Amino acid sequence: MACPLSVPRPHFGMAVFALALALAGCAQTSTSSTSTTTASTLTVAMASSVVVPQDGAAVQDSVTIAGASGTPQISISGLPSGINSQFTATGSGPSGVVTFTGASSVPAGSYPASLTVSLAGQTATQNFTVVSAVVAKVQASTATNLGIGGHLEQFISTNFQIAQWTEGFFGTGATTAARQATLNSLQPQHIRLQAIGNAVPMTADTGSASDWNFTPLDQMVQPILASADHSPMFQIAVAPGWMCDASGHLDVTNHLNDFADYAANLVLYYNKGGFDWGGTHFQSPSAYPITWWAIFNEPNANSLSASDYVKVYNAVVPAMLAVDPTLKFSAVELSDYGLGSGGAGDPEQYMPTFLAGVAAPVDTIGTHLYGTCNQLSTDTDLFNAVPQFAANVTYFYQALRGDATLAATPVWVDEINVNADYADSNGMSVCNPGQVWVLDQRATNAFFAAWKPYAFSLLGKAGNQALHHWEYSGGPQYDEVDSNGNTLLSYWVDKALANYFPFTTAAAAPAILATTATDSATVETLATKSANGTVTIMIVDRAVNASTDNNGSGAPRTVIVDTSALGGYTAANLMTINAATSATTGPSAAGITPSSRIAITLPGYGVSFLTLMP
């Protein structure tokens, strides 16, 4: 039995591609409405939808007037304040063009309007929609103030919580191979393993062989070692039960050295040919060692004060390094919330004590970020949490720079998701006692297709270097695949982020290009340029339809991507993930014609990836 996590996240059984590509002002032509029938009936026809950029660039649309001659009187109604129009006749007939100009003061979105023609005693009216379009301009210069010296050095990964409710996920034979293939396609690096419950391999300290049982743990660890980069990060999340106090937490006073010895035996088992106990030899069957280790899970949420955590870290890490000096370590692994609040989740309350007392090597600082712990949080609440994520990462770097030996230490967000809540045995919210727990599917539906890319962008720009999704397998509350290995929409979102913004320490990181946007309140833009000249531009529609929405569909956004500063490109493609994307087959990219201004329309929450090839 192991010390229980105070915030475990159990599993639950188990989840729009509408794309308009047009240069600004282009649209379908529709039929007109007319006045009463005459011998020669007046008609008018124009585009049914007019896209007006917020940057003031003029857009012209043709107006075809037939059935009468002369000089028409033109009136346009319904235009929002800030969008202006001017009709100009062309040729000898009454037809002409309407020139529209917009401004950033006009909120992005669609507005119903109408054009009325009066001529020769008749009138004809044509209804149309005017779309105030966001303009995102990509510069050729590197944004040296973002990322790591102007580069995006953030990789995508995932988590496996290993316990009695998950240990059989990989199965055997063909099932194992298929589920490994799906995991490999995600391209995760340093997959994080969290062993709790019956997956904690040491159950007692009697000196007999029955004290240890690696079978439940290795049902997941061994397939993962054989997958992806063959280099998972093993989090020693909890202590074996016999090292715990009456409250179920590690008894630092009486069992600190026991915990260090336990950790050293784990290294022996996986890396150094095993160990003997009670006359039995225990050794991992894999040829792949585990190099990365994380020390304890969310100590601030599991009754370890910052001073006690320093004691644990300073005892455990040297004991493990004595077995294998090549190991790398993630420290702190904080339950991170409430920056500056002075509360238990405030990193400002934990980091100073840790930095003042740590003596053992630190290779990364780990932290855990969740948008909420309450199913009642609105979509707006969840989007508003993301800038705070970036602020937390910025704080960690500021704190690390105060210690010359740790100044270059990277920050890894090794748990991230929408909602950390879960149900107790009575179906009530653990985070909100007295409130019935309700499944929150925003981690696996179209909302996630906006929320996770938004978080990826802001965290990457803040210098975060790893983003581990919580968690890989289970159901629609948290996961990327269900308990049967079937992909959820979240899987395709993370796969797209890994594919379009790849980073490994063995390759040059892409440069983050400077961008400006006429609306950054509802649209997020991230643009990078790789060493071969390929430019990738991510457009996120995070516009909320109503402030009270909880698991809403989002509001449409048309974004004109201005690439004029980049020069010419020979090819381009576009891929979108939103509510229309199949969770089974995922999205597909389509080739488009490169242009200096490319319009992308998302009908609600979602993300588009535009790739320009030299």
Average pLDDT over residues 429-442: 95
Average pLDDT over residues 505-509: 90
488/24 Cα distance (integer angstroms): 34
pLDDT on residue 3: 55
Average pLDDT over residues 203-224: 98
Decide: 592 and 437 in contact? Cβ < 8 Å: no
User: What does the pLDDT look like over 496-505, one tens digit per residue?
Assistant: 999 999 999 8
Decide: 27 and 47 in contact? Cβ < 8 Å: yes
Percent of the chain, pLDDT > 90? 92
pLDDT on residue 39: 55
C-alpha distances in angstroms, 78 versus 24, 73, 82, 209, 439? 20, 17, 12, 81, 42
pLDDT on residue 93: 87
Question: Within 10 Å of residue 388's Cβ, how many Cβ atoms?
Answer: 16
pLDDT on residue 506: 87
Average pLDDT over residues 417-434: 95
Ranges assigned E (strand) in 80-222: 84-89, 96-101, 109-119, 122-142, 155-162, 192-195
Beta bridge partners of 137: 516, 562
Beta bridge partners of 588: none
Average pLDDT over residues 306-315: 98
Question: Within 10 Å of residue 183's Cβ, how many Cβ atoms?
Answer: 24
Question: Within 10 Å of residue 307's Cβ, how many Cβ atoms?
Answer: 12
User: With bands split at pLDDT 50, 70 and 90, how would you rate the model's confidence at 74?
Assistant: very high
523/575 Cα distance (integer angstroms): 17
Q: Are strands 364-372 and 280-282 parallel, antiparallel or unpaired?
A: unpaired
pLDDT on residue 28: 39
**Whether residue 4 has pLDDT greater than 90:** no
C-alpha distances in angstroms, 83 versus 103, 113, 543? 7, 11, 21
* Coil/strand/helix, residue 140: strand
Among the listed residues 245, 317, 199, the one whose alpha carbon sits nearest the alpha carbon of residue 3: 245
Decide: 231 and 190 in contact? Cβ < 8 Å: yes
* Coil/strand/helix, residue 277: strand
pLDDT on residue 529: 98
Beta bridge partners of 178: none
Amino acid letter at 522? T
User: With bands split at pLDDT 50, 70 and 90, how would you rate the model's confidence at 36?
Assistant: very low
Q: Where are the alpha helices (DSSP H) in 117-226?
A: 173-185, 215-225
Percent of the chain, pLDDT > 70? 94
pLDDT on residue 328: 98
- Eight-class DSSP state of 367: E
More confident residue, 576 or 4: 576
Q: Where are the alpha helices (DSSP H) in 446-555?
A: 446-461, 489-500
382/173 Cα distance (integer angstroms): 41
Sign of CA dihedral 402, 297, 162, 435: negative
The secondary element (H helix, E strand) that includes residue 612 is strand 606-613
**Whether residue 271 has pLDDT greater than 50:** yes
Peptide bond into 471 cis (omega under 30): yes
**Whether residue 31 has pLDDT greater than 50:** no
How many Å from the N-terminal Cα to the C-terminal Cα in the chain? 58
Decide: 475 and 14 in contact? Cβ < 8 Å: yes
User: What does the pLDDT look like over 439-455, one tens digit per residue?
Assistant: 999 999 999 999 999 99
pLDDT on residue 91: 83
**Whether residue 10 has pLDDT greater than 90:** no
85/113 Cα distance (integer angstroms): 12
User: What does the pLDDT look like over 360-378, one tens digit per residue?
Assistant: 999 999 999 999 999 999 9
User: With bands split at pLDDT 50, 70 and 90, how would you rate the model's confidence at 475?
Assistant: confident
Average pLDDT over residues 305-327: 98
**Whether residue 399 has pLDDT greater than 90:** yes
Q: Are strands 109-119 and 364-372 parallel, antiparallel or unpaired?
A: unpaired
- Please provide residue 249's backbone torsions phi and psi, each rounded to the nearest 5 degrees: -115, 155
- b or e along 256-282 (b: 16 or more beta carbons within 10 Å of the residue's beta carbon)? bebbbebbbbbbbbbbeebbebeeeeb
What is the chain's mean pLDDT, rounded? 93
Average pLDDT over residues 182-189: 98
| Residue 172 burial class via C-beta count within 10 angstroms: exposed 0-12, middle 13-18, buried 19 and up | exposed
494/488 Cα distance (integer angstroms): 11
The secondary element (H helix, E strand) that includes residue 529 is strand 523-529
- Please provide residue 386's backbone torsions phi and psi, each rounded to the nearest 5 degrees: -65, -45
Q: Which domains does the chain have, with CATH numbers?
A: 153-509 (3.20.20.80)
**Whether residue 32 has pLDDT greater than 70:** no
Q: Are strands 84-89 and 73-77 parallel, antiparallel or unpaired?
A: unpaired
- Please provide residue 130's backbone torsions phi and psi, each rounded to the nearest 5 degrees: -105, 130
Amino acid letter at 475? G
User: What does the pLDDT look like over 216-251, one tens digit per residue?
Assistant: 999 999 999 999 999 999 999 999 999 999 999 999
pLDDT on residue 507: 87
Question: Within 10 Å of residue 13's Cβ, how many Cβ atoms?
Answer: 10
pLDDT on residue 38: 46
User: What does the pLDDT look like over 478-492, one tens digit per residue?
Assistant: 999 999 999 999 999
Amino acid letter at 570? T
pLDDT on residue 259: 98
User: With bands split at pLDDT 50, 70 and 90, how would you rate the model's confidence at 166?
Assistant: very high
Q: Which two tokens stand for residue 10?
A: 């159990």
Question: Within 10 Å of residue 441's Cβ, how many Cβ atoms?
Answer: 21
* Coil/strand/helix, residue 307: helix
User: What does the pLDDT look like over 552-570, one tens digit per residue?
Assistant: 999 999 999 999 999 999 9
Decide: 455 and 565 in contact? Cβ < 8 Å: no
- Eight-class DSSP state of 198: G
Amino acid letter at 379? D
Half-sphere exposure of 310 (CA within 13 A, CB side): 13
**Whether residue 576 has pLDDT greater than 90:** yes
Average pLDDT over residues 451-465: 98
Work out the angle at residue 338's Cα, subtended by the Cα atoms of residues 333 and 340, and round it to the nearest 5 degrees: 105
